[in-house]
Homo-oligomer: A and B are copies of this chain.
C-alpha cells in the first residue's frame, strides 16, 4: 500500500459567505430567527414557489410520453435558446436579423459565466495578446472572481459599484475606474437587479458608461438573472440592448431560475452578440468544444418548460402577469420597510431602499451592525449589509425593522 496521499497538501478552503451564514442560521435555535440572506425569490408564505402556470407546464412535460429521455446537443435546446435570445435582445433586434447572435443553453448562470469566460480566455483577439483584466462590480458574489480565475484569467480587478455615502451607485466613481483600466478589458455588469445591492444606474448613466466602454474598447459581460423582476422584461434588458444598438460585441449570462421558479432545473443561457455573421460558425464550434469539456450537454426539463412558456403568447402574457405580481410585492416590501424605519425614528435616510430594484437590497448597515443583527436579534443578512427583499413578509417585517433600528441605535 502506497503510504502517501495525493491530497496531503490540500488546505481547507474558506467557506462561501452564503454557506457560512446559512449554517449559522440553521444552528441558531431562537424561535424568532429570520433568514434574509438567501438567493431565491420567496413568496409571502416564506417559501420559493413556481407560478401556477409553470407548475402546470412542468407537469404536462413530465407526463408527455412522446418525450423520450435523451441527451441534448452540447448547445442545448434550440427552441429555448431562440426564445431566450429574443427575450434579451427583443424580437426585432438588428443583431438577430443580421444573424450574428449565438445562444447556448448552460447549467445555470454560473455555468454561463464559466463558459463565456473560457471562450473569452481562449479566443479573444490572440494576435493582440488580449488577456484581460476582468473588472467585477464591488461588491459582488464572492465566487465570481474564482469563476474567472478558474477559466484562466489571472488579473481580476474590481470597480466601485456601491457608494456608501450616497447609498447607491456613483456613476462618476464607476466611470473613473473604467477610465483607468487597460483598453480591451472585460467589464462585468450584474444588471438588472444587481446582486447583492439591488442598486442600478439610470438610463442616462448607462448612456455615459456605454460611450466610455466603446471609446476604450472595453468588452461588456452582463449577468442577467432577474430580467422581469426589476421593472419589466423589456425595460430590464435596456442596458444590454443599448450596447448592442451601438454595435458593441456583448456577452450575457442569463438565468431564468428566479423568473420561472425553476431553481433546481438550473435554467441558464449564454448569449453572445458578435460583430459580424462570419464569426458565428467558428465561435459556435469553439463553444461546442468547451461544453464537451465541461458537462457535454445541459439538463433538459427546465429548458423545455421555459421554451413552452416563451413560445406561446397566452402563456407569455400569463407569465408576465405573474412576474408583475412579484415586482409589486418586492416594491411593497421596500416601501413598508422604509416606512416602518421612519416611524421608529431610525437615523438616516431610507429612500435608497425604494430606489433599488429587484430581489436584493442594500441597507447600508456596516459589518458591526450586521453582526449585531445576527448575534443579538437572530436576523441573518449578507455581510455587505444586503438582504433578499422577498424574504420579508407580514410576519417578520416588524421584527426586522425593529432589529435594524436597534442595530443603528444600540451600538
Query: Is A47 in the interface zone, CB < 8 Å from B?
Result: yes
Decide yes or no: A9 and B293 within 8 Å by CB, A68-B47, A69-B262, A266-B298 being known contacts. no
- Measured CA separation A127–B288 after assembly (Å): 36
Closest to A39 in B: B71
Query: Is A294 in the interface zone, CB < 8 Å from B?
Result: yes
The answer to whether A108 and B296 touch across the interface, beta carbons within 8 angstroms, is yes
Query: Is A118 in the interface zone, CB < 8 Å from B?
Result: yes
Query: Is A239 in the interface zone, CB < 8 Å from B?
Result: no
Stretch at the interface among A158-166, A242-250, A318-326, A378-386: A242-250
The answer to whether A294 and B114 touch across the interface, beta carbons within 8 angstroms, is yes
- Measured CA separation A219–B109 after assembly (Å): 33
Query: Is A232 in the interface zone, CB < 8 Å from B?
Result: no
Decide yes or no: A7 and B58 within 8 Å by CB, A146-B293, A266-B297 being known contacts. no
The answer to whether B16 and A266 touch across the interface, beta carbons within 8 angstroms, is no
The answer to whether A150 and B293 touch across the interface, beta carbons within 8 angstroms, is yes
Q: How many residues of chain A have a CB within 8 Å of chain B?
A: 90
User: What's the least CB distance linking A20 to chain B, in Å?
Assistant: 11
The answer to whether B12 and A282 touch across the interface, beta carbons within 8 angstroms, is yes
Closest to A150 in B: B293
Question: What chain B residues lie within 8 Å of A11 (beta carbons)?
Answer: 282
Stretch at the interface among A187-195, A271-279, A338-346: A271-279
- Count chain B CB atoms within 10 A of each CB in A8, A15, A63 and give the residue with the most: A8
Closest to A275 in B: B5
Question: What chain B residues lie within 8 Å of A265 (beta carbons)?
Answer: 69, 299-301
Closest to A262 in B: B69
Decide yes or no: A73 and B19 within 8 Å by CB, A48-B68, A114-B294, A124-B7 being known contacts. yes
Query: Is A270 in the interface zone, CB < 8 Å from B?
Result: no
* CB contact between A6 and one of B9, B47, B130, B247 (< 8 Å): that residue: B130
Question: What chain B residues lie within 8 Å of A16 (beta carbons)?
Answer: 74, 288-289, 292
Question: What chain B residues lie within 8 Å of A48 (beta carbons)?
Answer: 68-70
The answer to whether B297 and A294 touch across the interface, beta carbons within 8 angstroms, is no
Query: Is A263 in the interface zone, CB < 8 Å from B?
Result: yes
Interface residues of A (CB under 8 A from B): 1-2, 4-16, 19, 39-40, 47-50, 58-59, 62-63, 68-74, 107-111, 114, 118, 120, 123-127, 130, 143, 146-147, 149-150, 184, 214, 217, 219, 246-249, 257, 261-266, 274-276, 279, 281-283, 285-286, 288-290, 292-302
